[in-house]
Structure 1
Amino acid sequence: MLQSMRDNLKGTAAVIVAAFFGFIMVIGGIDFFTGASGGSADKVAEVNGEKISNLDLQRAIQNRRSMIESQYGDSVPAELLTDEQLRAPVLQQLVNTSVMRQAAQDSGMVMSTEIVDRDIAQMAGFQVNGKFDAQMYRDGLRRMGYSHSGFRQLLEQDMVMQQYAGSVADSAFTTRTAAEQVVAVSMEERDFDYVTLPVAPLLSDVSVADDEVQSYYDANQQAFQRAEQVAVNYIELTPELFAANIDVSEQDIRSQYEQEAKNFAAEARRHAAHILIENGASDEGKAKVSEVQAKLAAGEDFAELAKQFSDDVVSREEGGDVGFTSGDVFPESFEEALSALNVGEVSGPVETDSGIHFIKLLEVADAEPPTFEERKAAITARLRNAEAEREFVEAMSRLADLAYNAESLSGPAEELGVEVKQSPLFSRTGGAGITGDSKVIAAAFSPEVLEDGMASEVLNLNENHVVVLKLAEHKPAGVKPLDEVRQEIVDRLKRDKASEQLAAQAEEIQSKLTNGEAFSDVASAEELTLETSDNTRRGGFGARGQIVSHVFGLEVPKPGAKVVEHFALQNGDQVVVQLRGVRAGKLSGQSAEQREAMMQQLASMQGASELAAVQKYLSSKADIEMAEAK
């Protein structure tokens, strides 16, 4: 379309290119896929004589870490992203990939040059306006540090592996009998009734002795384990922290406004519409231009002609409306033609890089400078933020020196005019606020902070948020003291005792039902609410989910009979349930679309299973040597 939109598309495409490279390099870099790994001196594994270097491994670890952070953000515990945690699974994936790639090569699978080139040409990241752009392709490879041949080789290796995996997975199938068996279980329905005996009303009358609490504590030490925890003192710097203390004078605001007003040029904003004919220089394009020009000369409606003839798919449905311009939105020739029109007039053919345009001026709006009162709040905020940004940068540059070897953070905080904050205790899985940030967690549990008592380096949580921290408290991993968990134990013992009392009542109800009494009569006599659940399938949450799960674990009743049982929920409530009927799911009861989806899903699961089996077999036959971790 227009040049400005074309530039925006290039920016978006660059992001897509980066995302694509990130995907195909999750397992390893170009060197690994092309067999150009480092020498044996730094190898971490060898597969059938092909070495995997430490560089390959480090690249893959970093790629895996970036992928996890991109997908899950700060919710991932910092210890799960360490090299130690990622090394083993990533190295195993490198080995598996090597095995699969070698098997693909040994099977004679290749990818033709034409197919690889076609795949490259169809990648969205290398296209502009739906067409492959050679400059975009060259720029993308240069940013990522690849040559054309190197990238093609990487892509070919990836495509061959996908082809090999597909030859295994896509050949899998499932039978109707297997699908019927799956549906019989997954779509099974059960009919049942139940009552719930609540434990809460009994708790206030239940007492627990100190020796009972001690005995339970002694017998369940494993349940009261506490992870290692720390609390930190920290200095936190943000521009907003400084902005709150900055006063902007009326004189400075007015001076800035006067400067704005002086620089403000009252420009006419023109509202334009256009009809775009791409490839206007071709014979077909020239014919189309002539046809549109003739219809405009005949007085036909511009908006309708735009809908019929314009190649601008974005604006044509709006009658060619492309919005307002102050003279700097559209290409120069477009702007010149537009500025020469009166409202309602249509230009002759105007050529730009996008094609031939017919331009209509819809309206003109005069832009007048805003008043001082209209601009005061915005100018005040801008001046305050600019000063706050300056103070933030200055404080950030001083923070590292002030905190280095400081006995405490109170001195640096006073020097910078900020306060020292203290976090609650948190473990390696993180806590609330800044203690949930992986950088803060890693620093807090680092040897320098945890063992040596030093202040951390300046942590850039984002471009406008930095933190320095120092250990305030450390609690090693171990068993929580009894006083800390006493109430928890008391509540648990009370609940268990009350639930045991209810179990006797539930047993009595079960006995009455087994002897043939109607469930409704028994529930009424016990002043309990009878719940009926027909056509129930597996699943659910909370207490309801626990009840459904238990019901689906009961034996199928014989024809004309019922199965009665009582059990306790996790909260101590007792439930008495009566199972009346069970019906297996039927594949024939599903719609044609559901049956097809079921068969495809089962085939996909079977394919994944077979692919895993092939990979396991290939690995068992391969000569794999793992170097010891250093």
Structure 2
Amino acid sequence: MLQSMRDNLKGTAAIIVAAFFGFIMVIGGIDFFTGASGGSADQVAEVNGEKISNLDLQRAIQNRRSMIESQYGENVPADLLTDEQLRGPVLQQLVNSSVMRQAAQERGMVMSAASVDKEIVQMPGFQVNGQFDQQMFRDGLRRMGYSPAGFRQLLEQEMVMQQYIGSVADSAFATRAEAEEVVSVSMEERDFDYLTLSATPLLADMQVGDEEIQAYYDENQQNFQRPEQVAIEYIELTPEQFAASIDISDQDLRAQYEQEVKNFQASIRRHAAHILIEGDDEAAQKKVDEVQAKLNEGGEFEALAKQYSDDIVSREDGGDVGFTSGDVFPEAFEDALASLEVGEVSGAVKTDAGTHFIKLIEVADAEPPSFEERKAAIAARLRNAEAEREFVGALSRLGDLAYNAETLSGPAEELGLSVQKSPLFSRQGGAGITAEGKVIEAAFSPEVMEDGNTSDVLDLSENHSVVLKVVEHKPAGVKPLEEVKEEITQRLKRNKAGEQLASKAANIQSQVESGEALADVAAAEGLTLETSDKTRRGGFGARGEVVNHVFSMDAPKPGAKTLEQFTLGTGDVVVVQLRDARAGDLSRQSKEQRDALMQQLASMQGTSELAAVQKFLAGKADIEVSTVEE
């Protein structure tokens, strides 16, 4: 956390921290990064005089992209991750963020330093095994490009904004009348009986002629449309394809190990602590002088760190910032640390983070691991390095070899690779590599699909490339009869079976309406009568279909019954008799259920009110949105 934060956030750390920022965005409908840049020449929006820079927008877009990738993995369509697709919604979030933050500031809302510190140490992205970790915190800020003070300021703004959001949303409430209305519907109970006439026994003996099939096909061709499709052959290129065939000699392993040992022995790790005074104004200098004076008087370094240090992370540990091999902290910090003896404290040292008093706690020089301990790791590293070189070499040749090739078999053989072929897929993509947006775009491009050219080499990721040719093209149109004949046959059989079952169901319904009991009719027909009492809405499968239909029926009058027939998605026909319907009663719910319901309704009301407040604030705000030049 002590050096300038210039590196971009990448890899696993990106996912961890993006997940935290994404959480804030989801619960608040706002973006954490607004105002982070402090000022940029490229302005994309202005809200009541507060500028939103292009840097703010690009940071927020990358954050949203990381969220989507971490949530959905590698199969996210590429067009969902483009700047063009993300720019509008993300910019709107930035505007909303600015509007809400300004509203909080106008109302004098603040957040205590202790609350901000507590939030930082509880962030999962800065924890290891559930405990706050200083190194994770320092590395995270360094990669994101924030100083501790800048990050703390951003978090404080975010927490104040959440406080304002909470003041709106949490003040909402639900009335008992609203709860009773909800319960009357959601907790309604119905009693009914039903029997099912299965279509399955009829299908085996059902006959369908070719003329019927042809007629159905001619009359329903809109149901048999096929999208445009292509199949491709492709050469896939990754370092892993080369790694398996690479052998590493024992001599190379020994040489690499000996170099590691030399480097290890030359590396001295120093354990440091510091007292950080942020700022360069008169108050900061006064604080620096006071700390220096107390150190000169023999004051205990750890106690002074807890009292004076602005490093909220290390001060509770007496200023302990861990070990460095000379490349963790800013150059001035490292130089001062290297000049100290164990237990010695430096004078005031200035870096971009502020002024430091540095203490050398210990110097560590551990024994290097044995050759056997390092052998597997060294072999893997050398193998991967050689595979990377072969990958880069093959990648540089692939485009030339594939250019104007009639098939990809020649280039594949030249590179020692194999040609793979995909099934047909549409513009919506298919499975595996055909789900990649770049692959879909290339395969359906006119020069590849229509002209028969080989695609350019497509870089799907840093170490994953592919080149492709279209080997089959099916234009959009009606599927041929032979392709859908079996489907039509089964449809016609189900239709005929349904007609027979509907006739039988109508006969059963007529007998019941004439005064016979549904149970007696079912028994005479050899059918099973199902009884369902105190049934509530919902369910799955055929049972769910029955319940949903029952709750769509008109409630019977007292002492009467309602009888209907309907067809399930499977083709089976159901005859159902609704005997009673009772509205839900709030007073019949337990206290815990009532409290939970009132809380849920209040939350929904709060969300609605928050949206209304945000819309009102945005409506009266002076918002100017400009376009970004491409």
Shorter-chain-normalised TM-score: which range? 0.5 to 0.7
User: Which residue is 2:229 aligned to?
Assistant: 229
User: Which residue is 1:276 aligned to?
Assistant: none
C-alpha contact 1:247 1:384 (8 A) present in aligned 2: no
User: Which residue is 2:523 aligned to?
Assistant: 524
- Give the deviation of 1:550 after TM superposition: 0.4
- Give the deviation of 1:172 after TM superposition: 0.5
Question: Deviation string for 1:421-478 (max 9, x for gaps)?
Answer: 1101223443223333455445545677557733342535585x65433333344555
User: Which residue is 2:561 aligned to?
Assistant: 562
User: Which residue is 1:36 aligned to?
Assistant: 39
- Give the deviation of 1:618 after TM superposition: 2.9
Question: Deviation string for 1:597-620 (max 9, x for gaps)?
Answer: 111111111111111222233333
Structure 1 CA distance, aligned partners of 2:215 and 2:14? Answer: 65
Q: Does 1:65 align with 2:58?
A: no
User: Which residue is 1:399 aligned to?
Assistant: 395
C-alpha contact 1:208 1:494 (8 A) present in aligned 2: yes
- Give the deviation of 1:495 after TM superposition: 1.7
**Amino acid aligned to 1:522:** V
- Give the deviation of 1:575 after TM superposition: 0.6
Question: Deviation string for 1:161-182 (max 9, x for gaps)?
Answer: 2122111110011122222222
Question: Deviation string for 1:256-295 (max 9, x for gaps)?
Answer: 9999xx9xxxxxxxxxxxxxxxxxxxxxxxxxxxxxxxxx
**Amino acid aligned to 1:567:** F
- Give the deviation of 1:592 after TM superposition: 2.4
Structure 2 CA distance, aligned partners of 1:129 and 1:379? Answer: 29
User: What residue ranges of structure 2 are gaps of 5+ in the alignment?
Assistant: 1-10, 259-360, 363-369
**Amino acid aligned to 1:92:** Q
User: Which residue is 2:533 aligned to?
Assistant: 534
Report the CA distance shift for 1:393/1:434 in structure 2 as closer, same or farther (over 3 A): farther
User: Which residue is 2:409 aligned to?
Assistant: 410
Structure 1 CA distance, aligned partners of 2:161 and 2:448? Answer: 46
Structure 1 CA distance, aligned partners of 2:127 and 2:371? Answer: 41
- Give the deviation of 1:70 after TM superposition: 0.6
User: Which residue is 2:107 aligned to?
Assistant: 108
Structure 1 CA distance, aligned partners of 2:84 and 2:14? Answer: 33
C-alpha contact 1:77 1:429 (8 A) present in aligned 2: no
Structure 2 residue matching 1:538: 3-state secondary structure? coil
Structure 2 residue matching 1:171: 3-state secondary structure? coil
Structure 2 CA distance, aligned partners of 1:131 and 1:369? Answer: 34
C-alpha contact 2:191 2:581 (8 A) present in aligned 1: yes
User: Which residue is 1:596 aligned to?
Assistant: 595
Instruction: Answer with 486-495 or 133-142: which moved more.
Output: 133-142
Instruction: Answer with 519-528 or 228-237: which moved more.
Output: 228-237
Structure 2 CA distance, aligned partners of 1:143 and 1:149? Answer: 15
Equivalent pairs, count: 507
User: Which residue is 2:338 aligned to?
Assistant: none
Structure 2 CA distance, aligned partners of 1:185 and 1:529? Answer: 30
- Give the deviation of 1:17 after TM superposition: 5.0
Question: Deviation string for 1:384-438 (max 9, x for gaps)?
Answer: 9976874574145313422342423222200122221110122344322333345
- Give the deviation of 1:146 after TM superposition: 1.6
Structure 1 CA distance, aligned partners of 2:66 and 2:371? Answer: 48
Question: Deviation string for 1:546-584 (max 9, x for gaps)?
Answer: 111101111111222211100011121111011122233
Instruction: Answer with 28-37 or 614-623: which moved more.
Output: 28-37
User: Which residue is 2:355 aligned to?
Assistant: none
Report the CA distance shift for 1:480/1:622 in structure 2 as closer, same or farther (over 3 A): farther
Matches within 5 A, 1:67-82: 67-82=67-82
Matches within 5 A, 1:75-90: 75-90=75-90
Report the CA distance shift for 1:406/1:123 in structure 2 as closer, same or farther (over 3 A): farther
Question: Deviation string for 1:207-244 (max 9, x for gaps)?
Answer: 45556555555554554344443322112345665577
Structure 1 residue matching 2:579: 3-state secondary structure? strand
Q: Does 1:203 align with 2:203?
A: yes
Matches within 5 A, 1:136-535: 137-208=137-208, 213=213, 216-217=216-217, 220-237=220-237, 241=241, 390=386, 393-404=389-400, 405-407=403-405, 408-437=407-436, 440-441=439-440, 444-445=443-444, 453-460=453-460, 466-535=465-534
- Give the deviation of 1:595 after TM superposition: 2.0
Structure 2 CA distance, aligned partners of 1:211 and 1:237? Answer: 52
Report the CA distance shift for 1:573/1:21 in structure 2 as closer, same or farther (over 3 A): closer
Structure 2 residue matching 1:617: 3-state secondary structure? helix
C-alpha contact 1:256 1:379 (8 A) present in aligned 2: no
**Amino acid aligned to 2:544:** G
Structure 1 CA distance, aligned partners of 2:120 and 2:240? Answer: 47
Structure 2 CA distance, aligned partners of 1:147 and 1:381? Answer: 35
Report the CA distance shift for 1:18/1:574 in structure 2 as closer, same or farther (over 3 A): closer
User: Which residue is 1:98 aligned to?
Assistant: 98
User: Which residue is 1:360 aligned to?
Assistant: none
Structure 2 residue matching 1:517: 3-state secondary structure? coil
Instruction: Answer with 232-241 or 154-163: which moved more.
Output: 232-241
Instruction: Answer with 228-237 or 382-391: which moved more.
Output: 382-391
Structure 2 CA distance, aligned partners of 1:482 and 1:87? Answer: 46
C-alpha contact 2:233 2:422 (8 A) present in aligned 1: yes
Report the CA distance shift for 1:628/1:504 in structure 2 as closer, same or farther (over 3 A): farther
Structure 2 CA distance, aligned partners of 1:245 and 1:543? Answer: 55
TM-score (norm 1): 0.68
Report the CA distance shift for 1:526/1:604 in structure 2 as closer, same or farther (over 3 A): same
Report the CA distance shift for 1:587/1:120 in structure 2 as closer, same or farther (over 3 A): closer
Structure 1 CA distance, aligned partners of 2:376 and 2:147? Answer: 51
- Give the deviation of 1:135 after TM superposition: 7.1
- Give the deviation of 1:523 after TM superposition: 1.0
- Give the deviation of 1:513 after TM superposition: 1.7
C-alpha contact 1:197 1:574 (8 A) present in aligned 2: yes
C-alpha contact 2:239 2:390 (8 A) present in aligned 1: no
Structure 1 CA distance, aligned partners of 2:254 and 2:609? Answer: 75
Question: Deviation string for 1:521-561 (max 9, x for gaps)?
Answer: 11122222222222222111121111111011111112222
User: Which residue is 1:548 aligned to?
Assistant: 547
Structure 2 CA distance, aligned partners of 1:121 and 1:382? Answer: 38
Report the CA distance shift for 1:448/1:551 in structure 2 as closer, same or farther (over 3 A): same
Instruction: Answer with 612-621 or 574-583: which moved more.
Output: 612-621
Structure 1 CA distance, aligned partners of 2:153 and 2:376? Answer: 57
User: What residue ranges of structure 1 are gaps of 5+ in the alignment?
Assistant: 1-10, 263-352, 355-367
Report the CA distance shift for 1:204/1:410 in structure 2 as closer, same or farther (over 3 A): same
C-alpha contact 1:403 1:412 (8 A) present in aligned 2: no
Matches within 5 A, 1:112-123: 112=111, 114=113, 117-119=116-118, 121-123=120-122
Structure 2 CA distance, aligned partners of 1:71 and 1:167? Answer: 30
C-alpha contact 1:217 1:489 (8 A) present in aligned 2: yes
Structure 1 CA distance, aligned partners of 2:376 and 2:593? Answer: 62
Instruction: Answer with 385-394 or 408-417: which moved more.
Output: 385-394
Structure 2 CA distance, aligned partners of 1:384 and 1:444? Answer: 36
**Amino acid aligned to 2:522:** A
